[in-house]
């Protein structure tokens, strides 16, 4: 009897996993670059732009480069949640919509979170090893942030 119940439970789980594959999420991809993107209003050196694209933009812009496993539920929901949360905190493609005070605060948070190794997330760098920021990368971003903050002030 126990084997029968176990088989039913496994069958129900498999069926549930198959069914949820048909429920998608909206992808975070924009065809046209936003007029409010930070790169359209502030100078971003190529090195810093590369670091931001590699380490930040998947969750903090209007364009995410999705890995193959994004086609599998529940991973798709999990990734969509990360992107939504990331954009809620900071969206580099909508940066110029922020008031000056918020821009300054967000830039301070960029420096704080990278220096505390809170960003990029460990769950992200686990799979995207090239997104890890070295101490030199962090200093480069911090110097750029300080330049932008002076422009805003």
Q: What is the pLDDT along the chain (153 residues), one digit of tens a residue?
A: 678 888 888 888 888 777 777 777 788 788 777 999 999 999 999 999 999 999 999 999 999 988 887 778 888 888 888 899 999 999 999 999 999 999 999 999 999 999 999 999 998 998 889 999 999 999 999 999 999 999 998
Nearest to 133 by CA among 38, 47, 39, 43: 47
133 secondary structure, DSSP code: P
pLDDT at 8: 84
pLDDT at 145: 97
pLDDT at 1: 62
- 70-73 long-range contacts, CB within 8 A, separation 24+: 72/21, 73/17, 73/20, 73/21, 73/23
């Amino acid at each position: 009897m126990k084997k029968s119940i176990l088989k039913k439970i496994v069958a129900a789980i498999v069926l549930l996993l198959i069914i949820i594959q048909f429920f998608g999420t909206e992808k975070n991809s924009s065809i046209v670059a936003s007029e409010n993107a930070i790169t359209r209003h502030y100078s971003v050196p190529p090195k810093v732009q590369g670091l931001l694209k590699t380490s930040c933009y998947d969750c903090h812009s209007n364009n995410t480069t999705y890995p193959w496993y994004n086609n599998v539920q529940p991973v798709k929901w999990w990734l969509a949640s990360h992107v939504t949360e990331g954009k809620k905190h900071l969206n580099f493609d909508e940066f110029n919509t922020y008031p000056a005070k918020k821009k300054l605060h967000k830039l301070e948070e960029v420096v704080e979170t990278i220096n505390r190794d809170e960003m990029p997330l460990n769950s992200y760098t686990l799979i995207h090893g090239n997104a890890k920021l070295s101490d030199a990368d962090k200093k480069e971003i911090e110097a750029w942030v300080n330049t932008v903050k002076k422009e805003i002030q």
